[in-house]
């Protein structure tokens, strides 16, 4: 029996930001295949004034504007009954838990999410306190709003759905499989502008190729992302080699 499709609702004042990305590549294929359902909702649909006002000045003064609570509460309350499972409400905010593969895995286990995209200087605190289940940040950089972080999260979630990447649905985490960075990749031509593809890859010796790739992954991770090594799947020999601060073999 096929698993029920995951459903993601998105609440934003810029639904147009999502249309291009959702119309292309794997997101589009997953939607077309019915493997995921994504519904966009314009926050302004839950305003009641002529100007469709979603923001207001901060009490106490200070720079910028704050997203008002009423449209967000009304929207979430209207969107929740649109599907069978209640959604966990995720607020994209610079104050959230920084997105990483553990958080993606946790969120991917939930059948339904409602992504609320922050904008302006922030969101009325009562939204966080009384409506939101999880706060997520994309990275330690200042962006203009939660829309691009929401797309980033959707892309990461949808890739994990069995069948989305083709093949047997087994999860391919490429760069992070086993907690290590990927090995260098080459394709034809074998010589390009005088730069050769490593000989071992042309050799046809599969065991040697596998050994070379493993060594490249270890070196590359040690060199660029030593923070990943603590959580990586390493053999005891590989760990010893790294601890001895040798080149891994």
- CA atoms of 233 and 58, how far apart (whole Å): 48
Q: Which of 15, 71, 145, 179 binds ligand 9D3 (CB under 6 A)?
A: 145
Size of the site for ligand 9D3 (CB under 6 A): 16
137 near ligand 9D3, judged by CB under 6 A = yes
The residue range among 40-48, 132-140, 176-184, 231-239 that interacts with ligand 9D3, by the rule CB under 6 A, is 132-140
Q: What is the DSSP letter of 8?
A: E
Strand locations in 108-194 (E): 112-117, 122-123, 134-137, 191-192
Rounded to a whole number of angstroms, the minimum distance from the CB of residue 151 to ligand 9D3 is 11
Region of residue 120 (phi > 0: left; psi between -120 and 50: alpha; otherwise: beta): left
| Residue owning tokens 């810029």 | 14
Rounded to a whole number of angstroms, the minimum distance from the CB of residue 174 to ligand 9D3 is 23
Question: Which residue, 92 or 241, has its beta carbon nearer to ligand 9D3?
Answer: 92
Residues 176-235 that bind ligand 9D3 (CB under 6 A): none
CA 34 centroid distance within chain: 20
118 near ligand 9D3, judged by CB under 6 A = yes
Rounded to a whole number of angstroms, the minimum distance from the CB of residue 101 to ligand 9D3 is 17
121 near ligand 9D3, judged by CB under 6 A = yes
141 near ligand 9D3, judged by CB under 6 A = yes
Q: Which of 38, 43, 138, 158 binds ligand 9D3 (CB under 6 A)?
A: 138
CB 108 within 8 A of CB 160: yes
Q: What is the DSSP letter of 90?
A: E
Longest CA pairwise span in the chain (Å): 71
The DSSP result for 183-207, as a single string, is: PP---S-SEETTEEPPHHHHS--HH
Residues 86-115 that bind ligand 9D3 (CB under 6 A): 92-94
The residue range among 14-22, 143-151, 173-181, 209-217 that interacts with ligand 9D3, by the rule CB under 6 A, is 143-151
Question: Which residues make Cβ contacts (< 8 Å) with residue 154, sequence separation at least 6?
Answer: 8, 10, 27, 38, 115
Residues at the site binding ligand 9D3, with contacts judged by CB under 6 A: 92-94, 118, 121-122, 137-139, 141-146, 149
């Amino acid at each position: 029996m096929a698993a029920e499709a995951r459903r993601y609702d998105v609440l934003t004042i810029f639904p147009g930001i999502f249309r291009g990305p959702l119309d292309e590549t794997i997101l589009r294929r997953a939607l077309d295949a019915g493997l995921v359902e994504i519904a966009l909702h314009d926050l302004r649909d839950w305003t009641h004034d002529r100007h469709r006002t979603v923001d207001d000045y901060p009490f106490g003064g200070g720079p910028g504007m704050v997203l008002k609570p009423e449209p967000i509460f009304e929207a979430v309350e209207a969107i929740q009954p649109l599907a069978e499972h209640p959604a966990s409400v995720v607020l994209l905010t610079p104050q959230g838990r920084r997105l990483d593969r553990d958080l993606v895995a946790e969120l991917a286990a939930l059948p339904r999410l409602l992504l609320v995209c922050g904008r302006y200087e922030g969101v009325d605190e009562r939204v966080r306190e009384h409506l939101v289940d999880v706060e997520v940040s994309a990275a330690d950089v200042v962006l203009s709003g939660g829309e691009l972080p929401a797309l980033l999260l959707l892309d990461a979630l949808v890739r994990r759905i069995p069948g989305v990447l083709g093949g047997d649905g087994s999860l391919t985490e490429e760069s992070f499989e086993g907690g290590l960075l990927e090995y260098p990749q080459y394709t034809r031509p074998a010589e390009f502008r005088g730069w050769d593809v490593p000989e071992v890859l042309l050799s046809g010796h599969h065991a040697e190729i596998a050994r070379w790739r493993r060594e490249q992954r270890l070196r590359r991770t040690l060199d660029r992302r030593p923070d990943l090594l603590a959580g990586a799947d390493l053999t005891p020999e590989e760990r010893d080699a790294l601890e001895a601060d040798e080149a891994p073999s």
